[in-house]
């Protein structure tokens, strides 16, 4: 790789720190500018990072010092920021979901195709050793032919810990659009694309109470369903049942299980990069933990961007826009299925990206300086 790829970060909230830590000191990328609607946030971040400029959002989107815009805004702003970046000829890599609505997501990918720029999208946790080791196990035949899977995400709600959780309960939020991308991207890596869905959803409360930060105790409205169940029909006939809930208290269910004719795989939390993958073989007597055999071993938020920057004609970005679009259509179709009371066939598809070999971290450049504490 020649000169470092220049990254401008828009949106400097809770998750931005993890990205800035991952990107710090990498030879492959250099953060050149930051921006937020709240100028005090960009000023504070720039003050801590030598050589990084605090700009207005529009200045950053049009800056000649930025090759890729890293979009870490809240979901309702994802499409507008992405379209702004693309309009200035920039690549864009953003947090999930790709957009708050399917129409907006299509608009982003269409604009990117016209401008001939790339679109990448979280989650990148699925490129870690957890999901990738399980994917390698399925591919090597350790469970035989996959037949069905389950995905379960249960939490009483992010407002308990997030200081400004409003976006989790407005359009673009809810347990499926917020947490579903981790599970659906994993399932597509493991079992391939989805051809049709059936969904049902419900809502526990009309209001939530913020549990941390300066707004502790404030009530916020719930504008979306906070529990979503569904069935996914994968293109190869495999069936997945999925539950995502901000209404339940706890669960002992494995986050993802894949059942094949000769064995069952239990995956770790797909919102993490690592964790144990366990296998129970037909005729066996107990679960066996598989050693990590694939995936970015040192994964942290931002490796999807490093993978995106390192992609070339021989290897497409793994956390790519087409995959994110298919994930978003799967989620919005589940919600539409619930609202309309019918099975919905999907219009998009996405092939699983290239598997991640265990050593692939070297591909995007060692750190040239230590990461800040």
CB of 35 to ligand NAD, least distance (A): 6
One-letter-per-residue 3-state SS of 193-243 = CEEEEEEEEECCCCEEECCCCCCCCCEEECCCCCEEEEEEEECCCCEEEEE
Nearest in space to 328 (alpha carbons), one of 167, 168, 95, 132: 95
Helices (H), the chain: 16-23, 39-48, 57-61, 75-87, 102-115, 129-139, 174-191, 303-310, 321-340
CB of 22 to ligand NAD, least distance (A): 13
Residue whose CB is less far from ligand NAD, 171 or 345: 171
Q: Which of residues 176-195 bind ligand NAD (CB under 6 A)?
A: 178
Using the contact rule CB under 6 A, the part of the chain among 67-75, 101-109, 232-240, 272-280 near ligand NAD is 67-75
Residue matched to tokens 């990738």: 132
Residue matched to tokens 């790519």: 320
Q: Which of 11, 175, 248, 292 binds ligand NAD (CB under 6 A)?
A: 11
Using the contact rule CB under 6 A, the part of the chain among 21-29, 31-39, 216-224, 322-330 near ligand NAD is 31-39
Size of the site for ligand NAD (CB under 6 A): 23
Q: Which of residues 129-168 bind ligand NAD (CB under 6 A)?
A: 162, 164
Using the contact rule CB under 6 A, the part of the chain among 13-21, 23-31, 235-243, 359-367 near ligand NAD is 13-21
Q: Which of 5, 7, 8, 10 binds ligand NAD (CB under 6 A)?
A: 10
Please check whether residue 133 is in contact with residue 273, taking contact to mean a CB–CB distance below 8 angstroms: no
Using the contact rule CB under 6 A, the part of the chain among 72-80, 183-191, 213-221, 361-369 near ligand NAD is 72-80
- Residue 211 CA to its chain's centroid (Å): 25
Residue whose CB is less far from ligand NAD, 164 or 195: 164
CB of 103 to ligand NAD, least distance (A): 18
CB of 366 to ligand NAD, least distance (A): 25
Say whether 293 sits in a helix, a strand or coil: coil
Tokens of 127: 């490129």
Residues with Cβ within 8 Å of 371's Cβ and at least 6 positions away in sequence, in order, are 21, 22, 24, 25
Q: Is 57 in the site for ligand NAD (CB under 6 A)?
A: yes
Q: Which of 67, 95, 225, 247 binds ligand NAD (CB under 6 A)?
A: 95
Residue whose CB is less far from ligand NAD, 87 or 284: 87
Q: Which of 4, 14, 231, 235 binds ligand NAD (CB under 6 A)?
A: 14
d(C-alpha 321, C-alpha 121), whole Å? 6
Q: Which of 22, 63, 68, 74 binds ligand NAD (CB under 6 A)?
A: 74
CB of 290 to ligand NAD, least distance (A): 26
- The enclosing H or E element of 52 equals none
Q: Which of residues 32-51 bind ligand NAD (CB under 6 A)?
A: 36-38, 41
* Beta strands across the sheet bearing 91-94: 53-54, 29-35, 5-10, 68-71, 91-94, 119-121
Residue whose CB is less far from ligand NAD, 61 or 361: 61
First to last CA, the chain: 27
Say whether 344 sits in a helix, a strand or coil: strand
Positions in the binding site for ligand NAD (CB under 6 A): 10-16, 36-38, 41, 57, 72-75, 77, 81, 95-96, 162, 164, 178
């Amino acid at each position: 790789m020649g000169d470092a790829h220049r990254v401008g970060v828009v949106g400097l909230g809770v998750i931005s720190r993890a990205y800035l830590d991952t990107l710090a000191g990498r030879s492959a990328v250099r953060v050149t500018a930051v921006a937020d609607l709240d100028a005090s946030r960009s000023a504070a971040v720039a003050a801590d990072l030598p050589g990084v400029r605090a700009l207005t959002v529009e200045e950053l989107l049009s800056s000649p010092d930025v090759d890729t815009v890293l979009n870490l805004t809240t979901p309702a702003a994802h499409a507008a920021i992405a379209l702004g970046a693309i309009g200035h000829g920039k690549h864009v890599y953003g947090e999930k979901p790709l957009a708050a609505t399917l129409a907006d997501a299509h608009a982003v990918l269409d604009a990117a195709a016209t401008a001939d720029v790339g679109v990448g999208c979280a989650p990148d946790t699925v490129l870690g050793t957890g999901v990738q080791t399980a994917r390698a196990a399925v591919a090597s035949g350790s469970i035989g032919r996959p037949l069905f899977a389950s995905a379960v995400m249960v939490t009483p709600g992010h407002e308990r810990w997030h200081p400004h959780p409003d976006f989790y309960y407005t359009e673009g939020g809810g347990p499926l659009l917020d947490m579903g991308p981790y599970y659906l991207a994993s399932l597509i890596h493991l079992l391939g694309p989805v051809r049709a869905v059936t969904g049902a959803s419900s809502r526990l409360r009309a209001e939530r109470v913020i549990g941390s930060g300066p707004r502790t105790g404030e009530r916020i409205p719930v504008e979306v369903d906070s529990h979503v169940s569904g069935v996914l029909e994968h293109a190869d006939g495999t069936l997945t049942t999925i539950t995502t809930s901000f209404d339940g208290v706890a669960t002992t269910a494995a986050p993802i299980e894949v059942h094949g004719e000769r064995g069952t795989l239990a995956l770790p939390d797909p919102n993490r990069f690592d964790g144990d993958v366990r296998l129970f073989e037909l005729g066996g007597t107990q679960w066996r933990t598989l050693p990590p055999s694939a995936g970015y071993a040192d994964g942290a938020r931002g490796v999807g961007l490093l993978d995106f920057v390192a992609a070339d004609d021989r290897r497409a970005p793994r956390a790519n826009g087409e995959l994110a679009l298919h994930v978003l259509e799967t989620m919005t179709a589940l919600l539409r299925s619930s609202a309309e009371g019918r099975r919905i066939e999907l219009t998009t598809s996405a092939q699983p990206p290239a598997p991640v070999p265990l050593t692939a971290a070297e591909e995007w450049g060692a750190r040239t300086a230590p990461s800040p504490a």
